[in-house]
Amino acid sequence: MKLLDNKTAIVTGGSRGIGRAVCEAFAGQGARVLFTYVSNDTAADETLAALHGMGVEADAMKGDAADSGFADSVCVRAKELWGGVDILVNNAGFARDGLLMRMKDADFDGVVQTNLNGAFYMLRGVAPLMMKQRSGRVINISSAAGVYGNPGQANYSASKAGLIGLTKSAAKELGARGITVNAVAPGLIETDMAAALTDEQRQRIEGAVALGRLGRASEVANLILFLATDMAGYITGQTIGIDGGISM
C-alpha cells in the first residue's frame, strides 16, 4: 500500500518547478491530483500526461490564484471528481523584485494578492470539506525570504511572511478537527527563477549555502510529501526550512 492511496490533493501552481515535483511525488504515492496553473498550457499538458502515465487520476484547471472565485471553483471541481479534498498545497506564487523606494503599488499588491491572498482563498475553500471529514493536510509554500527578509524583495518577503502567520492561525483554528497546517520555507531552488541568475549571483548564493549548492525541486517535494502523510500527524503550525543551511 502506498502512503497516499485513496487521497485527493490540490496543488496550486502545479505545472512547473516545485509544484510539478509535488504533483509527481504525490502521484507516486497513489494520490489523485488536481493542480492549477495560470498560463503555460504546454507545461500543464506535459505535467498532466506525466501524472496519467503514473497510473493515477489527475486533472488540471487554468486560472488566476489571486481570484477568489477561481479558488472556489477548484474546490467544487475536486468535490465533483472525487468527493472531497485531503491535501492542499498552496504553491502558486511569483516575484516582482525592486527596491522598496521605487516599487509601484501594483508590484506590491500583485505579489501579495497572488502569494498570500490566493493561499487564503484556497484554504478557506477546502476548510469546510476537511472539517466535515475531520481530517486534512495543508502545506503552504513560504520562503527563506519570508523568515529573514531579502533586499529588493519587500513585496515577496512580506507575502511569504504573511503565509507563516496564516499557517499558525489556521493550525490553531482547525487542529481540533484533525487538520494540520504547516509551512515550508525553501531557499533558492533550481527552478525558472534560479535560471535567471547571472553566474556571479549564483556563485555568491552558493558560497553562502552550507551545502555549497542550490536545492532541487524534488528535495522540497519530499518534505511536502512527508507533511502530507500520516507520519506527520502530530506536526502542525510549524515552518520548516529547507535551504541547505543558508539561514544558519
What cell numbers appear for 244 in the block?
541547505
Whether 156 sits among the annotated catalytic residues: the reply is yes
**How do strand 87-90 and strand 58-62 relate by DSSP bridges?**
unpaired
| Catalytic position from the list 37, 121, 148, 156 | 156
The set of catalytic residues is: 156
